[in-house]
């Protein structure tokens, strides 16, 4: 076919790029994702725009850097005026649906200021990040002394209750908890329980439920053009998996964590603070990593199995070869590498993401099964979708680049000279450890084919030589022999920071067309 009819945008949460067999993992086999890679293009140097859920996803959904869209931390609303994936797809005849997670928070004050009623069609759409909701399931429903982390009502919880899983919070008590010897609930938040099976049956787990909702969507909408964002919650914590996935990798010899004692000698102050937070202290212990990693891989395997069922249905339905399919993640997971847990810093396990794109178009036939080492970013997806549909993307709004030339196997001298990622730690756990000023709590990463430069406001810089030190164990930031390299990379950061990012109401072509118009309108300045 000449161009795709549909778009399937699949995202896993907190999935490391190197935990897929198509990216070289030797322990877990992911044949269904691997098959997608064999029929598409696998990107080896793809980066998220921020190594934290909310801002990363908002960059995916807007096609803009986090500095531009402003939602720089979890819980910070996306400005009501920002255009999102749904807006761009509607312009090209596709309704954009959601099954799963967004980590989106609406700008309620902005809606009020603009006089948009919350229950109006426009208000409802903006409150859902521009998605039409088939089933929104955020997947973070613990309860603390101050209430729920995600206050939204969950259709998944009602689903569990209807199946007989008792309690006010079946997400926590069944899907993300194990059971003790005496029937007591052992919460998956405590990583010592990661080796135990979840209380919920596999067919009722979060991954299974999300897949089933996607299948329902395809049965209902499969014959009409659509864009579906299928957003899985796992393998994001709590680290707990249902039978049999909890034990598939339990007896394997696990690889050692990527870390060195040298990293702890004269460390960068922010990196040092990250090593001191609770999750990092835990993952620095071998027994914690050994307990969690098999479960994490089990969750990855479960995801791949369910994607296999989904892809098989699409092939039988006839929609598979009509659909541009993307598989990616919002960020990675340290899992003890570099003495860290979670994400939030800029080593490859955290900031590099898997990205596989299968374009059904005939123009992509020559690239099938290929790998690209070009530097690509999460903000490149929306321009790619628009161009794949035959449109022209507004480059005065969207800050990414279309991947179509790489999908069509057209050689380019350099797709991108450097990739950018950002982190606003003003309310992160480390902020109190270093008494961070919210106005200065910014970190920027610039990575090229060889170098990774991390600029921290108010502190020294960090530098890694990815060619000589691919594991990123030796910080060259204080080595005077590399100051020239740092200046060059800082110049690239300056170049990026000086870009036009807020002038989005007029395109460059419109600006060019207005040159010289004032005289034709009767405005003659400076005439004698």
Could you tell me if residue 458 is inside a domain?
no
CATH number, residue 130: 3.40.720.10
Using DSSP bridges, classify how beta strands 143-144 and 177-179 pair: parallel, antiparallel or unpaired: unpaired
Q: Which tokens hold the place of 16?
A: 């490391």
Nearest-angstrom CA–CA distance, 254 and 191:
17
Q: Which of 369, 367, 350 is nearest to 403 (CA)?
A: 367
Say what the pLDDT of residue 350 is: 98
309 close to 256: Cβ distance less than 8 angstroms: no
Say what the pLDDT of residue 519 is: 79
Say what the pLDDT of residue 411 is: 64
Residue in the block written with tokens 């099938």: 368
Could you tell me if residue 117 is inside a domain?
yes
Model confidence over 180-221: pLDDT tens digits? Answer: 999 999 999 999 999 999 999 999 999 999 999 999 999 999
Q: How many structural domains are present in the chain?
A: 1
Say what the pLDDT of residue 412 is: 62
Q: Which of 11, 18, 84 is nearest to 351 (CA)?
A: 18
Range of the domain at 183: 6-408
CA atoms in the 13 A half-sphere facing the CB of 84: 26
Say what the pLDDT of residue 138 is: 94
Distance of CA 323 to the CA centre of its chain: 21
Q: Which of 304, 309, 303 is nearest to 236 (CA)?
A: 303
Using DSSP bridges, classify how beta strands 185-187 and 177-179 pair: parallel, antiparallel or unpaired: antiparallel
Taking each helix axis as running N to C, give the angle between helix 31-38 and helix 286-317, from 0 to 180 degrees, rounded to the nearest 10: 60
Could you tell me if residue 522 is inside a domain?
no
- Residue 35 makes CB contacts below 8 A (sequence gap 6+) with 311
Query: Phi and psi at residue 377, in whole multiples of 5°?
Result: -130, 160
Q: How far apart are the first and last CA of the chain?
A: 63
Query: Phi and psi at residue 87, in whole multiples of 5°?
Result: -65, -45
Could you tell me if residue 421 is inside a domain?
no
Using DSSP bridges, classify how beta strands 355-358 and 323-329 pair: parallel, antiparallel or unpaired: antiparallel
Query: Phi and psi at residue 136, in whole multiples of 5°?
Result: -90, 125
Per-residue pLDDT tens listing for the chain (528 residues): 678 999 999 999 999 999 999 999 889 999 999 999 999 999 999 999 999 999 999 999 999 999 999 999 999 999 999 999 999 999 999 999 999 999 999 999 999 999 999 999 999 999 999 999 999 999 999 988 888 888 877 899 999 999 999 999 999 999 999 999 999 999 999 999 999 999 999 999 999 999 999 999 999 997 889 999 999 999 999 999 999 999 999 999 999 999 999 999 999 999 999 999 999 999 999 999 999 999 999 999 999 999 999 999 999 999 999 999 999 999 999 999 999 999 999 999 999 999 999 999 999 999 999 999 999 999 999 999 999 999 999 999 999 999 999 999 876 668 999 999 999 999 988 988 888 899 889 999 999 999 999 999 999 999 999 999 999 999 999 999 999 999 999 999 999 999 999 999 999 899 898 888 887 888 888 888
CB-neighbour burial class of residue 266 (10 A; exposed 0-12, middle 13-18, buried 19+): exposed
Q: Which of 445, 438, 434 is nearest to 477 (CA)?
A: 445
Could you tell me if residue 183 is inside a domain?
yes
Could you tell me if residue 61 is inside a domain?
yes
Say what the pLDDT of residue 222 is: 79
3-state DSSP call for residue 363?
A: helix
Could you tell me if residue 511 is inside a domain?
no
Considering only CA atoms, give the Rg of the chain: 23
Cα–Cα distances (Å) from 371 to 23, 327, 358, 417, in that order, read: 10, 14, 12, 18
pTM above 0.95, yes or no: yes
């Amino acid at each position: 076919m000449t161009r795709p009819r549909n778009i399937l945008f699949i995202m896993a949460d907190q999935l490391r790029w190197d935990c897929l067999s198509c990216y070289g993992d030797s322990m877990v086999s992911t044949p269904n994702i691997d098959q997608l890679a064999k029929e598409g293009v696998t990107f080896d140097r793809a980066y998220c725009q921020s190594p934290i859920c909310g801002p990363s996803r908002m960059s995916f959904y807007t096609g803009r850097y986090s500095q531009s869209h402003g939602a720089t931390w979890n819980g910070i609303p996306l400005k009501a005026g920002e255009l999102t994936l749904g807006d761009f797809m509607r312009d090209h005849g596709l309704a954009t649906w959601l099954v799963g997670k967004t980590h989106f928070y609406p700008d309620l004050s902005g809606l009020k200021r603009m006089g948009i009623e919350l229950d109006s069609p426009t208000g409802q759409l903006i409150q859902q990040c521009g998605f039409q909701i088939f089933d929104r399931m955020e997947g973070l429903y613990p309860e603390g002394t101050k209430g729920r982390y995600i206050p939204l009502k969950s259709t998944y919880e009602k689903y569990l209750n209807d199946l007989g899983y008792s309690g006010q919070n079946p997400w926590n008590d069944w899907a993300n908890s194990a059971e003790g010897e005496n029937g007591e609930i052992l919460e998956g938040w405590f990583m010592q329980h990661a080796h135990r099976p979840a209380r919920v049956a596999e067919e009722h787990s979060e991954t299974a439920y999300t897949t089933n909702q996607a299948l329902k969507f395809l049965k209902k909408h499969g014959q009409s053009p659509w864009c579906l964002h299928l957003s899985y919650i796992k393998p994001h914590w709590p680290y707990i998996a249902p039978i049999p996935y909890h034990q598939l990798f339990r007896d394997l010899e696990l690889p050692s964590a990527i870390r060195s004692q040298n990293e702890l000698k004269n460390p960068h102050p922010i990196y040092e603070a990250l090593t001191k937070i609770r999750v990092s202290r835990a993952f620095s212990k071998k027994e914690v990593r050994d307990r969690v990693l098999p479960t994490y891989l089990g969750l990855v395997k479960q995801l791949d199995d369910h994607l296999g069922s989904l892809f098989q249905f699409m092939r039988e339905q006839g929609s598979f070869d009509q659909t541009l399919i993307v598989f990616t993640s919002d960020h990675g997971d340290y899992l003890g590498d570099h003495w860290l847990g979670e994400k939030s810093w800029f080593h490859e396990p955290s900031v590099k993401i898997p990205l596989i794109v299968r374009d059904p178009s005939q123009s992509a036939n020559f690239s099938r099964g290929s790998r690209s080492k070009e530097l690509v970013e999460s903000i490149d997806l929306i321009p790619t979708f628009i161009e794949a549909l035959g449109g022209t993307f507004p480059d005065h709004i969207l800050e990414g680049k279309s991947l179509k030339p790489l999908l069509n196997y057209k050689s380019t001298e350099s797709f991108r000279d450097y990739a950018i990622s950002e982190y606003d730690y003003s309310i992160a756990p480390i902020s109190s450890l270093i008494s961070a000023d919210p106005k200065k709590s910014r970190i920027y990463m610039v990575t090229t084919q060889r170098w990774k430069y991390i600029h921290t406001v108010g502190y020294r810089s960090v530098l890694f030589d990815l060619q000589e030190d691919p594991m990123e164990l030796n910080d060259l930031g204080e080595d005077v022999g590399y100051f020239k390299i740092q200046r060059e990379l800082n110049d690239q950061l300056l170049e990026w920071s000086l870009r036009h990012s807020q002038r989005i109401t007029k395109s460059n072509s419109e600006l060019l067309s207005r040159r010289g118009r004032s005289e034709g309108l009767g405005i003659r300045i400076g005439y004698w």
